[in-house]
Chains A and B, each alone.
Chain A
Amino acid sequence: MVWRSVELPVLPTTVIGSYPRPKWLREFIAGYRERRYKEEQMREAFDDAVIAVLNDHREAGVDIPSDGEMRRDEMVEYFAERIDGFKFYGPVRVWGNNYFRKPAVVSKLRYKGPMVVDEFLFTRRVTYSEVVKVTITGPYTIADWSFNEYYPSKEDLAFEIARIINREIKALEEAGAIYVQVDEPALTTHPEEIEWAIEAVNEAVKGVNIKVGLHVCYSDYGILRPYYDRLNVSQFALEFANRGFRDLEVLKGLNKELGFGVVDVHSRRVESPEEVAAAIRKVMQYVPPECLFINPDCGLKLLPRRIARQKLRVMVEGTKIVREELKRKGLERVELRKELTCP
């Protein structure tokens, strides 16, 4: 696939990935699990849900939407179910009474074939936008959130997963995707492993010739800072609203694009456009506007859909306020970039 240049408004708005599943879809999934629906009907319901999500994104004015990860129950489970060598023993608790089906690696992992390419192809077919974002969970997070019964070390496991993710990203590239985001929420949780964790991410994106973003959230970004240069991605998508836009100092020296989190996905309070605009002006003291994307802190899936929709709207409205200011300075458009540095 040949990279193609796409022009976007300055401060392109996008999402991190996940979006609340519509209530009817949750009910349909429950029915499918009770075998009341056929697989084909389930697939159709997922497709319809993606269309609904894209409609929400379009109405909000998001420049680069995603499919809301409608087909994914959980970000690690989804991939583990599609790679040979994983086994599920049952759910584990993450907090309170919330669980996820933490997979166990019980034999050599093998790539069975495309995992999210169909998702991408459908989204591209029905989207309103020129570019869509495809999210894929990163090798370190999958390794960290799995039990390792097979590989001699977590590092060995992470690199095996990285090679599999690399094949998947290349399959996406082959299918025509031009913007992939690798999600690595666990990346900084074991600082003693960060050296090889960074290289595992690089292994996952090796030889990829499209735009790759890296999403890391609820983390100590100070741990990431020494590795800005070493990470072979073109953008960091980071969460800042949840921390009240503190810690922006860590962006000093950033030589890549920043996907700037401007709305808090862990709070139901809907921010105002003015708050969003103020945050963007603040971050522009550290990152030039031509290197800035605007997004929520993280996936919106845990919010009620009504709130998620409102948050996207204010995100776009706040961005437009700053765009007007930039327009007066002659900056209106930017190009989608895949380069590893910015500016």
Chain B
Amino acid sequence: MAVFGAALIGSYPRSEKVATIHRKLIKGVIGMEEFERLIGAETERLIGTFVKAGLDSFTDGMLRWDDIFNPLIRFVDGVEVNGLVRFYDNNFFFRAPVVKSDPSLKDSEPITAWCRKGVEVLEKLGVKGQVTLKQPLPGPATIASASIAEGEDVEDLIDKWWSGVLEPLTKDLIKGGCVPEFHEPEIVWDLSRRDLWVKAVELVASVNEGWYVTYFRPADPVVDMLARLGEGFVVAVDVVSGTDAGKMVSAGVKRLALGAVDARNTKMERCRALVSLAKRVAEDGAEEVFVANNTLLDFLPEPVARKKVRFLGRVKRRLVRESGV
């Protein structure tokens, strides 16, 4: 019998209050210390709402992050931060990393400390051990493809980003009590470089645990790669974009997050449809099935994202009620 859960993938939109805190930092009205205090309080409040909604696995909302690359790339030696680049087909832009020499994670990186703070919040709420706190990171294929690097090929960049930045950071995060959540939209976006992505998936698989997230396009063409991640990974796929979840299970993915709540549309999904889908995937042989958002909730207005988070919890409760698990 499969275990059902509800999960949040990636970022949560900045509320007006959080946007104001960022604005104050940008304008120099507050310093980093005060920013951290205020954002920490907002993060704590947000984690509380995720717990209350009934989510089993979530991030801290990434309220300190501008996109999945920033501020990570500001804490990497050998990398400069460039102008704005479109994030796939979205009206959303990120600052791209310009690789000047081999990327290497700086000792001053704050991400591990943010993860520990999130874990402390779980302790404070009395839910540590009952829920999973994840730290989103760009996967090696996605960050290598987003990099501007003269004379470097993507294959080398995948290796360099992994060994110099992502692998050491992942290990620190796991030690800190967070589960890494690798965002790899690139492997479903550009299928022409499939051979490179095989290698990128293998690198991620080497850490033996985490969430592996693809979105914006169906994951069916890379199902064989996803199946190689092993049982330590939950594989999150974009069902809204047309991924055949049953195919994932048939290929050997036993822990699956169904990205069935559309983070790129304000329209609310129907509870019954998601429940049916999750049950079907469980019947196909999945051992653990999460209902989740398909991509970053940052693409939605905050009031709608709030409703969708609550909705995820409602779907999970109904699944548990109906399946008795």
Contacts and interface: CB of A to CB of B under 8 A. Distances in A.
Interface in B41-96: 66-67, 83-84, 86, 89, 91-95
A94 B92 contact: yes
B182 to A, nearest CB: 22
A95 B94 contact: yes
Given A97-B22, A147-B265, A92 B86 contact: no
Nearest to A98: B93
B23 interface: yes
B302 A145 contact: no
A189 B84 CA distance: 15
Contact of B266 (A149, A190, A266): A149
Interface in B1-37: 13-14, 19, 22-23, 26
- At the interface, is chain A mostly helix, strand, loop or mixed? loop
B303 interface: yes
Contacts, number: 61
Nearest to B91: A145
A93 B13 contact: yes
B89 A190 contact: yes
A95 B93 contact: yes
B91 A89 contact: no
Which of A89, A99, A149 has most B Cβ within 10 Å? A89
A96 B66 CA distance: 5
A89 B266 contact: yes
Contacts of A92: 13, 298-301
Contacts of B95: 95-96
Given A147-B266, A148-B265, A149-B267, A95 B92 contact: yes
Contact of A90 (B66, B93, B94, B304): B304
Interface in A201-228: 218
A149 B262 CA distance: 11
Contacts of A148: 265, 267
Interface in A96-139: 96-97, 99, 102, 104
B26 to A, nearest CB: 6
A92 B264 CA distance: 11
Contacts of B23: 97
A144 interface: yes
B84 to A, nearest CB: 6
Contacts of B22: 97
Interface string B283-325: 0000000000000001111111000000000000000000000
Contacts of B302: 90
A190 to B, nearest CB: 5
A186 interface: yes
A91 interface: yes
B273 to A, nearest CB: 16
Contacts of A93: 13-14, 92, 298
Nearest to A100: B91
Contacts of A102: 91, 301
Nearest to A76: B91
Contacts of A186: 91
A186 B86 CA distance: 11
A85 to B, nearest CB: 14
A246 B291 CA distance: 46
A99 B93 contact: no
A291 B273 CA distance: 56
A100 to B, nearest CB: 8
A258 to B, nearest CB: 24
Contacts of B14: 93, 97
A96 B14 CA distance: 11
A95 B266 contact: no
A102 B22 CA distance: 20
A266 B83 contact: yes
Interface in B138-178: none
A191 to B, nearest CB: 9
Contacts of B26: 97
Nearest to B302: A90
A10 B116 CA distance: 65
Contact of A89 (B86, B92, B299, B304): B304
Nearest to A91: B301
A59 B298 CA distance: 43
Closest 5 CB pairs of A and B: A90-B301, A95-B93, A89-B301, A149-B267, A147-B266
25 contacts: A89-B266, A89-B300, A89-B304, A90-B301, A90-B304, A91-B19, A92-B13, A92-B299, A92-B300, A94-B91, A94-B92, A95-B92, A95-B93, A95-B94, A96-B66, A96-B95, A99-B19, A102-B91, A104-B267, A144-B91, A145-B91, A148-B267, A149-B266, A149-B267, A186-B91
Given A89-B266, A148-B267, 16 more contacts: A90-B301, A90-B302, A92-B299, A93-B92, A95-B92, A96-B66, A97-B14, A97-B23, A97-B26, A97-B66, A102-B301, A147-B265, A148-B265, A149-B266, A189-B86, A218-B86
